[in-house]
Chain A
Amino acid sequence: MKEREKVLEVKNLKVSFNSNGHELKAVQDISFYLNRGEILAIVGESGSGKSITAQSIMGIIQDYTSVKREGNIIYKDLDLTTLSEKEMGTIRGSKIAMVFQNYSSSLNPTMKIGKQIQESLIKHQDLQKAIAYKKSIEALRRVGIKNPEEWYYQYPHQLSGGMGQRVMIAIALACNPDILICDEPTTALDINNQRQIINLLEEIQDKLSTSIIFITHNLKLINNFAHRLLIMYGGLIVERGPVKEIEKNPSHPYTRGLYKSILQRELRPKEKLYTIEGSPPNIKNLPKGCPFYPRCQYAMKICVNTRAEEIEVKDGHKVACWLYHHLCQRTEKRGEDFG
C-alpha cells in the first residue's frame, strides 16, 4: 500500500450553542484525522457530539441561530472553516458527501429517485442530461440495485428501508466523493439490512478507495468492518485506536463498560445484565474534569476538576484517563475486570 495520506484532519474542533444565555458545548475539543481509503468509526451515545462533528465537517449545522464553531477542518490542503458558503457548496456533496439515518426526510418525496441523482450530478458536474441519466443509472447499479432502469422511476415512499438507504448512498456516491460520512445509516434498519449496507460500504471502500467516516451507537456493527475507532463521550474523544486493538484491550472505563455490556453471551437466559449505571452527561452542565467521572467506579479526586491528557497505551491506541498516567498507582484498576 502507498504511504498513508491524510484526506481530512480535524484540529481542536469546538462547537457550542447559545440557548438563553447558557453555553451548550456539543463538541468540547476534538482532533482526529482520516486516511485515504480508510474506514473510521465514531462510536458514542446520543448527545456525545458525533453528529455535530459530522455536520461541522459538512458545514451544515442546523436549527440553531447562535452556533459557535472553532478549530480547523483541513481537507487536502484546504481549511474548510475559512471557506465562504459558496465555496463550501462546491465541496459539499461532490468531494465530501453524507448519508443520514433517515432517508425519508433527506429525499425529495415529490421527485423520482433517479431524477434526484441526476439533479445532483447536473448541479455539481455540469453534465448534459443524457450523460447524467446514464451516470445515475450507473450510480444505482453500483449500490447493488438490480434493474436500475426501473428503479429510476420510483418515488421515495415506494422504497423499503434498506432500499431507501441504498438510494441515499447512490446519491452520495454519484459525484465520486473522496470522503463519505455516514451518520447512523443503519440504525433504523433490521439486522439483515444492516449487514447488507455494511457489506455495500465495504465494497465501495475497496473498489473506489473512498474514505469513510461511519458514525454509530452500535459497537457490534463495526468489528470486522472499520479500521480505526474513536470513542466519544460528552463531546470529547476518550479513546482511539485500531478497532482490533481496542476490542482486545479496551482501556477507558467507559469503553470497557460498553464492551462488557454487549458481550454478555455467557449469561443464563433472563439473568441480570451488566450495566453502566447512571446516564450520559447533559451538555448544559458538563463536568469540569473527566466527563465520565459521575459514572466511573475508579474516579479519583483529580478526575473531578481536571481532564486527563491522552496517553498512548500502545501504537496508535490512546486513552484520556488518569488511570493511565505513569505516576498513577492504581495500576491494578486498569483493565481489572476485563481479561
Chain B
Amino acid sequence: MDKILEIKNVKKYFKLANKKIIKAVDDISFNIKKGETLGLVGESGCGKTTLGKIIMGIYKPERGQIIFFGKDIHLMDRIEYRNLSRKRQMIFQDGLSALNPRMTVKDILEEGMEIHKLYVDNRIKKVVELLEIVGLTRDSLYRYPHEFSIGQAQRIGIARALALDPKFIILDEPISSLDVSIQAQIINLLLEIQRERNLSYLLIGHDLDIVRHMSDRIAIMKSGKIVELSSTEEAWNNPNHPYTKMFLLQE
C-alpha cells in the first residue's frame, strides 16, 4: 500500500453563537503517499489548521472518511487506533508553548514511550539518540523548556514526534516563528529525517519559497475548499486556477 493517508469528502462546520455557520473545511479530498510531502497553503483562516486537527483526530468531521494505511479510522478497533496514534504525529508552529513547562526534556521525550510501552529497557539510550538526531546534546536531558531558545524548543518538538517512530507528520508552520539563520537548519533537519525514515509530511506553511522547496505536491486552499492540487512544478509554472496564480505568483 503506497498511500499513507486518504481523505475523502471531509467537512467540518462550526456553528457560531449567532447561528451563523462557518464552513471551515468544506468537502475536501486528497491523499498522501509514502515518503511524500504535500504542501498546504492558503490565506489565514482558510481552514488549514482545522484540516490538520481533523487528520490528527482532534476534531471530528461532520462528514467524510479519513483512511490511514488503507483503513477508515472509524472502522479501526482499539489496538489499531492506538497504533495509529504512534504513527501520526504533529509538530506545531510555536515550539516552546507546545511543550509542558513543568517537565524536563527527558520526561517530555519519554512520555509517549511510557504510554505505548516502548523501549522499556533502554529508554534513556533512545532519548539520547533522539537528542543527537535533532542536534542537541545529552546535557539537555534534565533541563526545562524555558531554558531553551525557540529554535532549540522546535528541535525538542521534533525529537518528541520522532520518539514513537511515526510514518506521517503534520508540520503546521514549523519554522515561521524561527530566526532566519535557524530556519534553514530546521528545514535541513526535517528533510534529512524524511529521507532517512521515508516519512510522509503534510506541510502547512506561509512562506511559499519554503513550501515550494520541501513539497512534492501542493494543495491550494480557499474558504474551506481545495481549489488546486498539483505537482509543485506544475502549480508554479502552469497554474490552472486563477486563485493559484494570484496566490503563488504575487511576489
Contact = CB atoms under 8 A, between A and B. Distances in A.
A261 B207 CA distance: 14
Contacts of A264: 209, 213
Contact of B180 (A195, A218, A269, A277): A218
A160 interface: yes
Interface string B148-168: 011110000000000000000
A261 B250 contact: no
Contacts of B247: 192
A219 B44 CA distance: 22
A275 B185 CA distance: 6
Contact of B191 (A257, A258, A270, A279): A270
Describe B's contact surface by its main secondary structure. helix
Interface in A207-250: 217-220
B212 to A, nearest CB: 8
A279 B151 contact: yes
A195 B183 contact: no
Q: In which size bucket is the chain B interface? A: 20 to 34
A332 interface: no
23 contacts: A45-B180, A46-B150, A187-B177, A190-B43, A190-B206, A191-B250, A191-B251, A192-B247, A258-B180, A261-B183, A261-B184, A262-B180, A269-B214, A269-B216, A270-B195, A272-B188, A273-B184, A273-B213, A274-B184, A275-B184, A276-B184, A279-B181, A280-B149
Contacts of A130: none
Given A191-B207, A192-B247, A193-B44, A273 B187 contact: yes
Interface residues of A, number: 34
A219 B180 CA distance: 8
A243 B78 CA distance: 59
A275 B180 contact: no
A28 to B, nearest CB: 18
Contacts of B150: 46
Given A218-B180, A275-B188, 17 more contacts: A45-B181, A45-B182, A46-B179, A161-B45, A190-B44, A191-B250, A191-B251, A258-B181, A261-B181, A262-B209, A264-B209, A273-B187, A275-B181, A279-B181, A279-B182, A280-B149, A280-B181
Interface of B: 43-45, 149-152, 176-177, 179-185, 187-188, 191-192, 195, 206-209, 212-216, 232, 247, 250-251
Interface of A: 45-47, 160-161, 187, 189-193, 195, 217-220, 257-258, 261-262, 264-265, 267, 269-277, 279-280
- A-B residue pairs, 9 tightest by C-beta: A45-B179, A275-B184, A276-B181, A273-B184, A190-B44, A261-B184, A275-B185, A190-B206, A190-B43
A160 B44 contact: yes
A267 B179 contact: no
A45 to B, nearest CB: 4
